[in-house]
Amino acid sequence: MTPNSKDFPVSWDELHRNARALSWRLLEQGPWKGIIAITRGGLVPAAILAREMDIRMIDTICVLSYSNSDTGEASVQGQIEVLKGIEGDGEGMILVDDLVDTGRTAKYVREMLPKAHFVTLYAKPAGKPLVDTFITEVSQDTWIRFPWDMVQTFAQPLSEVIDK
């Protein structure tokens, strides 16, 4: 199989359920000072966590690590660039992203905020050791399709698209 050859589409309902499940786990570990969302993927989960946990202090760390490939197809991971940082070491804060994939971005941000509790909704094996709490693990060759990246359309049956 080629890298990211499996699609894992996530609906808004599923994303919301997973973020609520993450909130339940985090409420047991609090109290928390606030949430730091890693943009852009962490913004939606951070909003749900903030509502469910009644947290009003929300900040962002803005990191660029993926860009469109020259062919315009899948995104490719490049150099990590911090567009907006944050002060402190993250103590008492929840650091949230949608996904930990290879762990490159996670490692970089974790070094910036070593005392933050790092959470994601989804984790792949290569990045999983860098996250404190996550909800769903997927294989490394899975491409997660988040609801903000999709429109509703026809899907071919798996039997027609899987290599036999």
Active site (annotated) includes residue 7? no
Active site (annotated) includes residue 101? yes
As a whole number of angstroms, the distance between CA 101 and CA 139 comes to 10
Distance of CA 40 to the CA centre of its chain: 9
* Residue among 101, 126, 143 at smallest CA distance from 5: 143
User: Which residues does 135 contact at the CB level (< 8 Å), separation at least 6?
Assistant: 18, 21, 22, 120, 121, 122
Q: Annotated catalytic residue: which of 7, 13, 59, 98?
A: 98
10: number of Cβ within 10 Å = 20
Q: Annotated catalytic residue: which of 13, 54, 59, 97?
A: 97
Start-end of H helices in 6-164: 12-27, 43-53, 104-112, 158-161
Tokens standing for 59?
Answer: 């900040």
Vertex 112 angle, CA 130 and 119, to 5°? 40
Known catalytic residues? Answer: 97-98, 101
